[in-house]
Amino acid sequence: MKNLEYILRLSLVLVISLTFIISPEMAYASERDLETLGDYRKHYEELLAKKRANDNKTEQAKNEIKQKEAAISQTRDELTIAEAAEEEAQLKITESNQAIEENKKESEKVLVYMQQVQNKNAYVEYVTGSSSMTELVTRIEAIKQVSDYIQVTLDNLETEIDKNEKLKKELEEKQKELTAKIGSYQSAVAKLNNDIDDIAELNEGIDKQVEIARDNYEKNKAMCIKEVGSGADNVKVSTCSKIPYNGQWLQPLNKGVITSKVGYRTDPITGKPYSFHSGIDIGASEGTPVYASAAGKVSGIISRSSCGGNKVYIDVTVNGKKYTTYYLHLLKYNVKVGDIVTQNTVIGYVGGYSTSKAHGGYDGCTTGAHLHYGVQNGWYGGYVKTANVLIPPPGMKNSVGWRFNSRTDLYAN
């Protein structure tokens, strides 16, 4: 029982953990398989709403950055003023110390004189040397006033030094606070810039996805009106689509080797652990022809994506079941949206080396020549949906190192 309880708890932890490491390509869990014209219309409207929402988030982040940068500028001005005040306080301390030194020298002379006059004979001589009582009193009072004045002056200077020392410490603390505030604002700006980058990465190609979704809806509606006489939301696209039937799968290349499988892995670009990989990577020379693994209709194309390069999505039906196939990191492609392709159609060519950012290209999600090939259950209008419908490509072993030497060299799943 204890073992069973432990297993159940561990399973729960794993399930909860997985909910926090879903990749951007898995962020569409609520979206449906596109069956009816209404599904295509709603899919377009949802993507459009998502694009607008993320545009608003980006704009808000940019406005916050402007506010933080203005605060940084103001705080830097305050810091400059505080630094100048601290320098002024230090100058006053130096001047006061110099004055104290000078007054100490004068006081030493007075002290010597006082010691001399305190000698009885000298004092008598000093007193008797007075021409009158008034002069005597004046002489004694003068000595006392000089002594008192020097003492008061020294006390005042020491008080001024203490005040300036305190002010200097306060200004130094203020400088630290202002410097920390600037650092905090700069961190906030960096985070906001990262947020903008994350939004851009999460919605990479969303403009194209919106365009694809709109075109798919409009073209399917026009096709259904032509084929079955209706463009109503409840019309199933399969009843008016001309997507060819397939009895089996073929490999997308004449030969290749699996270099990365479907599932979680450490991202080879960022080093991020538990990064979800939405397809199988097949190592092949750049320029190798890429075939459609199943006959179907091209449902989406994204050109020169910053993560994935040239992408082609094809809706297919194999043994009566609907799938979306997709081919990424293409050097170039030979098809357009709406084209009907067969299993002998060369849809494009393997890229991933010259197209990579590391070698002067535009694709930041590739380290070398390969085809990223994926399959998911259902038609989704030209994009990768979620992990719950994504499957290892049929006829391929989801294992790094597995090789095939012909398009009909299939693995029994």
Most confident region among 139-148, 273-282, 321-330 by mean pLDDT:
321-330
Which of these ranges, 30-34, 42-46, 84-88, 400-404, has the smallest mean pLDDT? 30-34
Strand 263-265 relative to strand 340-341, pairing: unpaired
Fold designation for 67-200: Helix Hairpins (1.10.287)
165 and 93 in contact (C-beta within 8 Å)?
yes
SS3 for 12-62, per residue?
A: HHHHHHHCCCCCHHHCCCCCCCCCEHHHHHHHHHHHHHHHHHHHHHHHHHH
Cα(100)–Cα(147) distance, rounded to whole angstroms?
15
- What band does 407 get if pLDDT is binned at 50, 70 and 90? very high
Q: H or E element: which one contains 303?
A: strand 296-305
Return the higher-pLDDT residue of 288 and 274.
288
Q: What is the dihedral of CA 48, 219, 305, 275, to 10 degrees?
A: 70
Indicate the range of 334-338, 378-382, 384-388 predicted with least confidence: 384-388
Looking at residues 300-307, what average pLDDT do you find?
88
Between 41 and 22, name the one with better pLDDT.
Answer: 41
141 pLDDT band, cuts 50/70/90, is low
More confident position, 122 or 20: 122
Tens-digit pLDDT profile for residues 78-114: 778 877 777 877 787 787 777 777 766 666 666 566 5
**Separation CA 249–CA 52 (nearest Å):** 39
Domain boundaries defined on the chain? 67-200, 243-413
Q: How confident is the model at residue 127 (pLDDT cuts 50, 70, 90)?
A: very low
What is each CA distance from 201 to 196, 206, 313, in whole angstroms? 9, 10, 19
Given this model, what pLDDT does residue 182 score? 79
Question: What separation in angstroms does the CA of 345 have from each of 31, 296, 323, 324, 342?
Answer: 30, 10, 18, 16, 5
Q: How many CA atoms lie within 13 A of 413 on its CB side?
A: 10
Most confident of 26-40, 155-169, 290-304: 290-304
Average pLDDT, the chain: 77
pLDDT digits (tens, 9 = 90+) for 198-255: 666 555 557 767 877 788 888 889 989 988 999 999 998 878 877 888 888 999 999 9
pLDDT score recorded for residue 111:
57
Tell me what percent of the residues of the chain surpass a pLDDT of 70: 75
Q: Which residue has the higher pLDDT, 7 or 89?
A: 89
The listed range with the strongest mean pLDDT (64-68, 278-282, 310-314) is 310-314
Is pTM beyond 0.85 here? Answer: no
Query: Which CATH class, in words, describes the domain spanning 243-413?
Result: mainly beta
- Region 21-39: mean pLDDT is 52
> In the structure, what pLDDT confidence band is assigned to residue 404 with cuts at 50, 70 and 90?
very high
Three-state SS at 273? coil
Average pLDDT of the segment spanning 164-186: 78
